[in-house]
Amino acid sequence: MATFYAKSSSPSISAVMLLLGLLMDNPRNNRCAVNRPSVSFKYIAVGNEVSTTDRQYVRPALQNIFKGFSSAGLRDHINVSTAIDTSVLGNKREISLPYALFTAPSVVVQDGQFGYRNLFDALLDALYSALEKAGGASLKIVVSETGWPTAAGSATTVDNARIYNLNLIQHVKGGTPKRPGKPIETYIFAMFYENKKPPGLETHWGLFSPNKQPKYAIEFA
């Protein structure tokens, strides 16, 4: 998934929470605002895996939130966008494991002048091409979540999750074939296993178990 953004700085968590009306009479939210003054917001992504029937509401929601930030003097501090599920690209061809894990030894997909050895770059550049056709060539993409589950699906093992995330961390430092030479701002999904969700694939993406123990060794250097 990805969000589009423009460069900005970030306000404090208390400013955002007040703007969104979350403080109200909820003591837990008040404690969060008081005890976490150093936390800041960089992006607000409106909508997540929005269904086809609900996509009509995304733009009005974006506009309303942006107007709220503007009236609070925060329009130059927080980027408001939406998350795009890469399934919108519509390509469901069979994908090899090395191509997905950044371990393919050579080019797997050739698209004109660009050769792709991993699925991550191919998806990202496909989104950039779509933006260019829509008149948004100057926009940058933030990968708001990417990762690998450790159970409950095909090739979902602890070792594959470790390989994917370690290779991802190194890979995003250098850009894509279409946009080379610049780091790709990327966020790993997810910090913790979501063990309160119904059993299945969605619960197994975390780097850490609910008891805060790491599922596997990983370095971000």
Catalytic residue IDs: 49, 145
E strand residue ranges, the chain? 3-5, 43-45, 79-81, 109-111, 114-116, 140-146, 186-188
Name the helix (H) or strand (E) containing 15: helix 13-19
Residue 201 phi/psi, 5° resolution?
Answer: -55, -40
Angstrom distance (rounded) from CA 73 to CA 68: 9
Q: What is the dihedral of CA 31, 36, 39, 43, to 10 degrees?
A: 0
Angstrom distance (rounded) from CA 74 to CA 64: 13
User: What is each CA distance from 10 to 28, 74, 86, 128, 179, in whole angstroms?
Assistant: 23, 9, 27, 25, 26
Q: Are the CB atoms for 194 and 147 separated by under 8 Å?
A: no
Angstrom distance (rounded) from CA 148 to CA 167: 12
